[in-house]
Amino acid sequence: MNRKKAFTLIELLVVISIISLLIAILLPALGAARLAANRLKSATQLRGIHQGMVTHAQSNKGYYPGLQGDGTRVPDGAETTGNNGNGESVEARYWIMLNQNLFPANYITNPVENRVVWTGDTPTIAWENYSYAMLDIRNLAVAYTGVPEWRDESNGEAPILCDRNIGLSSITSLSMSVYSQNIPGTWEGNVVWGDNHVDYQVSPLLRTRIGGVLRDEGGLGLDNIFGDNLYLEGTTTEGAFDAHMIHRFRSSAHD
């Protein structure tokens, strides 16, 4: 009698083992490729947001959203900020741009985060709707006095937007990012600069020049964009951004 050809149990186990090994080798590579693709998408979104800011500035005497043509902050109001506070708040500045359809609403959410895309059904933008921090302009009070880079000046050394710091402190060793959650001291992310170029940084310590002055903390020629550690505001409510607020990044009072 002719015997039917078939895999033996040992051969089947060998095949399964090889397939499992290939999967184990390929999955990290696929994950890295997916992360790289999301970083690129995030960079494209940041560049698009900044381009929207420039478009706004062209009809606002050079000032970015949040400031009026005379350099004073946009006041509170349903018509001006969608009830998101005055123009100092990140929420208000995003609302101004989205209300003008300067870019799609999903641009303000990093693709690696599970954020709620703002639909416009409500005038309020919550911290769950966006992923990117903005150059802080709360130090302006009423008059435009301290942040010359919050206008279209094409300064390639002035960071304008970046991935937010999800850590509870601006201290470099405690900063965290959406790309490295739960690992203190590993903030990294995309940064868009005043000349619209975007790069991926692996530390919040950057070389910056604000108002023509090279920021230098600790004699290193570097600037902690989330704070200089001299004075920290409430670490649980303000995200521990620098109290001087002239050039620091602010993402939300809820970070």
Nearest to 97 by CA among 70, 59, 149, 61: 59
Rounded-to-integer distance, Cα 130 and Cα 116, Å: 8
pLDDT score, position 141: 43
Residue-wise burial string across 7-27, b where 16 or more C-beta atoms lie within 10 A, e elsewhere: eeeeeeeeeeeeeeeeeeeee
Break the chain into its structural domains and give their ranges. 10-250
Partner residues linked to 151 by β-bridges: 63
pLDDT score, position 23: 79
Supply φ then ψ for residue 163, to 5 degrees. Answer: -60, 135
Split the chain (255 residues) into runs of 10 and give each run's mean pLDDT. 66 81 74 83 97 96 92 90 90 95 96 90 89 78 55 91 83 82 85 95 88 73 69 31 41 46
Rounded-to-integer distance, Cα 51 and Cα 127, Å: 22
pLDDT score, position 105: 95
Asked if residue 226 lies in contact with residue 185, where contact means CB atoms within 8 angstroms, the answer is no
pLDDT score, position 249: 64
Asked if residue 179 lies in contact with residue 188, where contact means CB atoms within 8 angstroms, the answer is yes
SS3 state of residue 242: strand
pLDDT score, position 29: 66
